[in-house]
Amino acid sequence: MVLKDEDWKIPPEAQPKQTSYRFDLEQALSSVVAIRSRVPADAFTANILGTERSGNGTLIDEDGIILTVGYLVTEADEVWITTNGGLVVAGHVLGIDHTTGLALVQALGRLDIPVMPLGQSSKTQVGDRVIIGGAGGLEHSLSAHIVAKQEFAGYWEYVLDEAIFTAPAHPDWGGTAMIDATGHLLGIGSLQVPHQVHGEQVLQLNMIVPIDLLEPIYADLRMFGQPDRPQRPWLGLFAAEDHDRIVVIGFAGNGPAKRAGLNEGDSILAVAGHPVSTLVDLFRHIWALGTAGCDVPLTLEREGDVFDVHITSADRNRYLKTASIH
């Protein structure tokens, strides 16, 4: 669902207060912009992520470069940027890194907003107070704190060595800016995830991609549209942990796993003979086999039958519309 400005606001008591900070809070939040993108109906990700997407981004360079989360602009052929002042400017997808989940958008017109300086996410600690900034200023920004820094695995073949988790959760989390007490950008909002506490109570958290992951790939994203490194083997499957098992729950289009005959409900027991029981185990063992195009041997269980299957992995980017980058 696309959240419109009139549909929601952060309650005043949950908004950050200028009196709590020494930097100009309103000016800092003006660096956060709204991003809306349109994706062709025949795009590989259209059925999964939709053809119209909206979220947030942050201006990080005087050249008009905006940092956001990748899924907002993957395969987008149309991008629009809106500042807090109401200025609307067209954008161009400059680069996407599926390993980190970060993306750069180039504004094609002058934005007349300040650049947000980058901080160091490695220096953050659990308990630190942060701002989760959304486009629209204070009414769309949230006072939060870091509740965890830990490994994270996503069902779509994605792992972060150390993601940042914050609470309370921002309702329009995609591409939000995590800002520290000095007005520096510490990360980009990616997900809202449930966390069970005190037995039955479920607390919603935001998962933040740490800003330190940007620096090693920034120049490549600007120049090449993606990091200049070998691509990981990709199978195009969605998987979930079910107690001590990994279960296939879906597929990304007609990707390698689906073409190899895997079914929803299959249990993945091992990768190249190595038993796996968590998503991290599964993906890291697959990636350890080589680069995109390598053979991936899996041991599966289906309705009580255990058997092996070999999948020829692929480069995920080859399935995406190339118009999305450069």
Q: Does 310 score more than 70 pLDDT?
A: yes
Residue 162 burial by CB count (10 A; 0-12/13-18/19+): exposed, middle or buried?
middle
Listed by start position, the domains of the chain span 1-229, 237-322
Report the pLDDT value the prediction gives residue 1, as an integer from 0 to 100: 33
* The pLDDT of residue 322: 66
For the ranges 54-68, 168-182, 310-324, which has the lowest average pLDDT? Answer: 310-324
pLDDT at res. 324: 40
pLDDT of residue 195: 81
Instruction: Assign a CATH topology to domain 237-322.
Output: Pdz3 Domain (2.30.42)
CB proximity list for 186: less than 8 A, separation 6 or greater = 119, 120, 121, 124, 130, 164, 178, 179, 180, 208, 210, 211
Question: pLDDT-derived band of residue 4, with 50, 70 and 90 as boundaries?
Answer: very low
pTM of the model as a whole: 0.94
DSSP-derived letter for residue 109 is S
What is the overall mean pLDDT for the chain?
Answer: 94
Q: What is the pLDDT of residue 202?
A: 81
Q: Which of 226, 205, 194, 230 is nearest to 102 (CA)?
A: 226
| Rounded CA separation 119/141 (Å) | 19
Is the domain spanning 1-229 CATH 3.30.413.10? The answer is no
Res 282 pLDDT > 80: yes
